[in-house]
Amino acid sequence: MDDKSLSLESHRSLWQDAARRFRKNWLAVGGLFVVIAFLILALLGPHIAPYDFLEQNIVNAFGGFTPEHPLGTDDLGRDVLSRMLHGARTAALVAFSTTAISLVIGVLLGAWSGIQGGRTDQFLMWISDLIQAMPGLLLVILINTTLRRPIINWFDTLYEQTKNPFYLNTLWLDYVLVFSALALIAWPGLARLVRGQVLSINEEDYVLAARALGASEWHIMLRHVIPNALGPLVVAVTASMGGAVTLEAGLSFLGIGVQPPNASWGSMLNEALRLWQVFPHLVLSPAVTIGVISVAFVFLGDGLNDALDPRRSS
């Protein structure tokens, strides 16, 4: 047993090495556990919630922490725990979709920029410079408010033409808008990262060798560039998911993101804040949850960064 592990140690892969380094960082491991718990709760949330998240009971509004309602009830007497669980689903959905969209855009444009070079590269990098120089929140607000109406109008015409009831439901439109707005500001970071990787890996001798053997650009991309860029990408994706969660909550806090009756931690915090002096206990659950999850994502990303990039961790 011992002999085996010893002999294995001599050729550990990059990922095994990273896992070993990651495990030593207890802050990052803690962050990982919180993130996993968050994702599980988001998945199971509506099924384990004690009440329906829309069920109102005005008589019992602003209830305190009781065995029936462990986190109290809000201004309409809705169970806060159930709403928090539903909000977890919103947050996780936004995190995944935003990251997926921006990952696709970022990787494609970044790779294109890096391979193409010249004018294309300059233009794409100028655009991403601009987006990154702007305050993200302001951009998201602008995009979110202005895109809403044309999409609703577009759906109306689609319904007129097809009579498909699918186009009548605009409840989930809030989500789509938040996803696209967040993705639009998130892609430049990923594109920059991929472009940098493409440029530096293209300099390597083994890429030159592959090219000399007649490998196509796409083959080089898939076989050499992407696997080598995976480490930094994992870090960036983690950061992007955490950023999406906090930005979504922030948007909803400002009253611009996910609209009622959909549940979001941000809007719950905003609603609770109106009467914070009288019912401070309602502020606690959303505020503490958002805080803990943001911190967990940052520590997780930081740990991954140190683990996957041995040169920078020292």
Partner 1 sequence: MASFLLIRLIRWTAGLLLILFVTYGMMFYGAGDPIRMMFIQGEDFDSEDEVVMLALRKKYGLDEPFLVQFGNYLHNLLRGDWGRSIRLQVDRPVLEIVQFRLPISMQLGFAATVIGSVVGIGLGILAALYHNRWPDPLIISTVLFITSIPVYVVGPMLLLILVLQLGVIDVPYGWSGLFHKDAALPVAVIAIGILPIIVRQTRSAMLEVKGQPFIRTARAKGLSEFRIIMRHMLRPMMTPVITTMGLIMIGLINGALFVELIYNIPGFGLLTIEGIKKVDYPIIMSVAVVGTMIIFVSNFLVDIIYPILDPRVRVR
User: For binding to partner 1 (CB under 8 A), which residues are involved?
Assistant: 27, 126, 129-130, 133-138, 141-143, 145-150, 242, 246, 249-250, 253-256, 266, 269, 273, 276-277, 280, 283-284, 287, 290-291, 294-295, 297-299, 302
Residue closer to partner 1 by CB (options 57, 259) is 259
Work out how close the CB of 169 gets to partner 1 at its nearest, in angstroms, rounded to a whole number. 20
**From CA 191, how far away is CA 201, in angstroms rounded?**
15
Smallest distance, partner 1 to C-beta of residue 137, A: 5
Taking the least distance from each CB to partner 1, the nearer of 131 and 210 is 131
Give dist(CA 108, CA 307) in Å, integer.
26
Is the separation of the CB atoms in 293 and 38 below 8 Å?
yes
Tell me which residue has tokens 């860029």.
229
Question: Residue 250: which of 160, 149, 175, 140 has the closest Cα?
Answer: 140
**CB of 211 vs partner 1, minimal distance in Å:** 33
**CB of 151 vs partner 1, minimal distance in Å:** 9
**For partner 1, which is the closer residue by CB, 150 or 165?**
150
Which lies closer to partner 1 via its Cβ, residue 16 or residue 153?
153
Question: Nearer to partner 1 by C-beta: 60 or 270?
Answer: 270
Instruction: Judge contact between 181 and 195, C-beta under 8 A.
Output: no
Q: Residue 123 or residue 218: which is nearer to partner 1 going by CB?
A: 123
Between CA 273 and CA 180 the distance in angstroms is 28
The two most distant CA atoms of the chain are separated, in Å, by 77
How far CA 113 is from CA of 169, 192, 203, in Å, comes to: 38, 9, 16
Q: Which among 265, 240, 241, 244 has a CA at the least distance from the CA of 253?
A: 265
Nearest-approach distance from CB 73 to partner 1, in angstroms:
19
CB 75, min distance to partner 1, A: 16
In DSSP terms, 73 is beta-bridged to: 79
